[in-house]
Amino acid sequence: MRFRFSLMVLTLATVTLLAGCSVRMKNIANTANEAIFGSPDISLTSQEIADLPYAAIYFKADEKPQVVAVLDRATDAQRVFRTAGEEAFITRYGRIIASSGMQGLPLYTSGWENDPLGCYVAQTAQAEPEQDCPGVWQRTVEFGNYGSNQLHQVKVQSTFQKSGTQNYQHPDGTPLTVTEIIETGEANGESFTNRFLAVKGRVVFAKHYLSENLGYGSLSEIKPYMGDL
Judge contact between 116 and 45, C-beta under 8 A: no
Judge contact between 124 and 201, C-beta under 8 A: yes
Domain count, the chain: 1
CA 48 to CA 153: how far, in whole Å? 40
pLDDT for 21-64, tens place per residue? 333 344 444 433 443 334 567 888 999 999 989 999 999 998 88
Predicted TM-score (pTM) of this structure? 0.83
Q: Does the CA dihedral 201-193-141-55 come out positive or negative?
A: positive
List the domain range (segments joined by +) for residue 171.
2-228
Q: How far is CA 146 from the centre of its chain?
A: 21
pLDDT for 103-152, tens place per residue? 889 999 999 999 999 999 999 999 888 789 999 999 999 998 766 667 88
- DSSP one-letter code for 53: S
Query: Domain holding 115: CATH number?
Result: 2.40.360.10
**Three-class SS state of 145:** strand
Q: What is the mean pLDDT of residues 216-227?
A: 95
- DSSP one-letter code for 104: T
